A = this chain, B = another copy of it.
Amino acid sequence: MHLKKMTIIGVGLIGGSFAKGIKKAQLCDQITGFGPNEKELQTAVELNVIDNYSLDLSTAVKGADLILLSVPLGAMQAVLADIKPFITDKTIITDVGSAKASVLNAVKNVFGKIPSHFVAGHPIAGKEKSGVEAACDALFDAHKVILTPSPETDKQALEQVQHLWQALGADVSEMTPEFHDEVFAATSHLPHLLAFGLVNLLNEHEELGNVFQYTAGGFRDFTRIASSDATMWRDISMSNSQAIVKWLKNYQQELDYLITLVEKQESDKIYDFFIQAKKARDTHIQ
């Protein structure tokens, strides 16, 4: 399963960490980077994240056994269209997009179907810092990676992608794109939007002055994800909008219930609400 050449399209935190891990595991002879920003690609070479780069897409992609698409969801379809002329039926293409139905739609729009060597993926790892300087070969170690293969996906291509993630220490599992998008709308997209929302709410209420000065560690942790990349989260919101709206509305209903309890001073039910949450978190989250 050794690869001769791999091309990373988008050498930022995720693409760079993948490349670094693969280099460390010595699973590929040559890792080539491609992206719109030459300075970042030079940095990636200097940091030994990739072996080389090209600003010409056909050169970058030519002869690659595997292409990793690590670009914003909003750029996925354009990048797929750009690489289409330079790949063969055997070129494995995989991605790291945080929403999967929209990526598979983009693939269908470009190829007219899901090519057998396209393997949709999503590593559940990240940092608030972005860019190749933040890349780290252990980023995916002990983290989940979800693959959402289609019925037409080639078994060997799927195994190859699995093998690479596992070599980085990841715990790889499979689900349908629809289930994936529902689960991550609830567990990831929802809390991110809630955190952005809270910071904006407090920032707008000028009559209290700068209320951020009165916050402590709890607030800092709660809102840490509100420092995430705005472009990435815009793209996720656009790409998984239906599930996100559904879960935002589910959450509103949960708040409606809590508001009623507090308004009516339902002491016991308020306690039950909090203790249930505390127990669930203490049980499930380490």
Contacts and interface: CB of A to CB of B under 8 A. Distances in A.
A78 B71 CA distance: 61
Given A182-B208, A200-B280, A270-B237, A124 B216 contact: yes
A126 to B, nearest CB: 7
Interface stretch (A39-47, A56-64, A228-236): A228-236
> Is chain A's binding surface mostly helix, strand, loop or mixed?
helix
Nearest to A208: B183
Interface in A232-253: 233-234, 237-238, 241, 244-245, 248-252
Contacts of A233: 270, 274
A50 to B, nearest CB: 25
Contact of A191 (B212, B219, B255, B265): B219
A2 interface: no
B274 A196 contact: yes
Given A197-B277, A258-B193, A277-B199, A225 B214 contact: no
Given A193-B258, A222-B225, A248-B262, A187 B202 contact: yes
Given A212-B284, A245-B259, A245-B262, A198 B191 contact: yes
Interface string A268-285: 001101111110111011
> Which residue, A230, A276, A286, has most C-beta atoms of chain B within 10 A?
A230
Nearest to A274: B230
Contacts of A198: 190-191, 194, 251, 254
A203 B286 CA distance: 15
A227 interface: yes
Contacts of A270: 233-234, 237-238
Contacts of A265: 238, 241
A125 interface: yes
B222 A222 contact: yes
A231 B124 CA distance: 34
A256 B219 CA distance: 22
Nearest to A286: B220
A146 to B, nearest CB: 8
Contact of A230 (B195, B215, B234, B275): B275
A48 interface: no
Interface of A: 124-126, 143-144, 146, 179, 182-184, 186-188, 190-203, 205, 208, 210-231, 233-234, 237-238, 241, 244-245, 248-252, 254-256, 258-259, 261-263, 265, 267, 270-271, 273-278, 280-282, 284-286
Given A183-B211, A200-B254, A212-B284, 7 more contacts: A125-B216, A186-B211, A194-B198, A196-B274, A198-B251, A215-B285, A230-B278
